[in-house]
Amino acid sequence: MNARTISLALAMVMSAGAASGKEDLMKRARGLFKPVPATAPVMKGNPANPAKVELGKMLFFDPRLSASQLISCNTCHNVGLGGADLQETAIGHGWQKGPRNSPTVLNAVFNIAQFWDGRAEDLEAQAKGPVQASVEMNNKPERLVATLKSIPGYQPLFRKAFAGQQDPVTFDNVARAIEVYEATLLTPDAPFDRYLKGNRKALSARQEEGLRLFIDKGCAACHGGVNVGGTGYFPFGVREEPGAEVRPPADTGRFKVTNTAADRYVFRSPSLRNAAITMPYFHSGKVWKLNDAVKIMGSAQLGIRLTDDEADTITAFLGTLTGRQPKVVYPILPPNSDATPRPVTN
Catalytic residue among 136, 179, 182, 310: 136
Collect all residues with Cβ–Cβ distance below 8 Å to 233 and sequence separation of at least 6: 112, 118, 254, 263, 266, 267, 268, 269
Q: 97 - beta bridge partners?
A: 91
First to last CA, the chain: 88
Please, are residues 95 and 168 in contact by the beta-carbon 8 Å criterion? no
208 labelled catalytic? no
Which amino acid would we find at residue 53? V
Question: Which residues have a catalytic role annotated?
Answer: 136
